[in-house]
Amino acid sequence: MNVTSPLPHKKARIEIIPLIDIMFFLLASFMMVSLSQVVMKGMKVKLPTGKMGETQNKKDYVALSIDRDGYYYWDKEKIGLEQIAPKLRQVRVTTPEAKIFIRADREALHGNVTRMLDEIRSTGFLKVSFEVQSESLAGLSKEQ
């Protein structure tokens, strides 16, 4: 005897639209996380703002920082002004095309920045850039 169910029999289906939505969400999440993992070598200082700031490739670079109290930093290590030139000479031996990025606090004294620039130039490096914060990013950081 053949007994049939009063409920209609439906075949199972795999819905692909929700799967695609989840995959796009995961892709976007991983992209945002990977973009936020930019390695910052220099000390965190309040950079001055500029209109014509341009993003540069930071491959093979040295980050030198000056805080508002006049202390000098090599990447994130506190050093004296007289230690900058010997360290840069060592870098010049291994990577002569290295770029130098100066991160000076907006309240740092002009004389301190000039002394650091003189030390850098005395080692023969010509590719020196000053890091500034874009005006659009400066507006965002003030709001937060």
**How are beta strands 128-130 and 72-74 bridged, if at all?**
unpaired
Which residue range is the domain that position 107 belongs to? 49-143
In a domain, 76, yes or no: yes
When pLDDT is cut at 50, 70 and 90, the band that residue 143 belongs to is very low
Phi, psi dihedral angles at 72 (to 5 degrees): -100, 145
CA dihedral 8, 14, 15, 17 (to 10 degrees): -170
Q: Is 44 within a domain?
A: no
39 three-class SS: coil
**Could you report the per-residue pLDDT of 57-84, keeping only the tens digit for each?**
556 788 899 998 999 999 889 999 999 9
Total domain count for the chain? 1
Q: Is 88 helix (H, G, I), strand (E, B) or coil?
A: helix
Specify the range with the lowest mean pLDDT, choosing from 38-42, 86-90, 121-125.
38-42
Q: Is the pTM of this model over 0.75?
A: no
Which helix (H) or strand (E) segment holds residue 109: the answer is none
State the CATH number of the domain containing residue 56.
Answer: 3.30.420.270
8 belongs to a structural domain: no
* 3-class secondary structure, 25: helix
- Please report whether residue 85 resides in a domain: yes
**In this structure, is residue 3 part of a structural domain?**
no
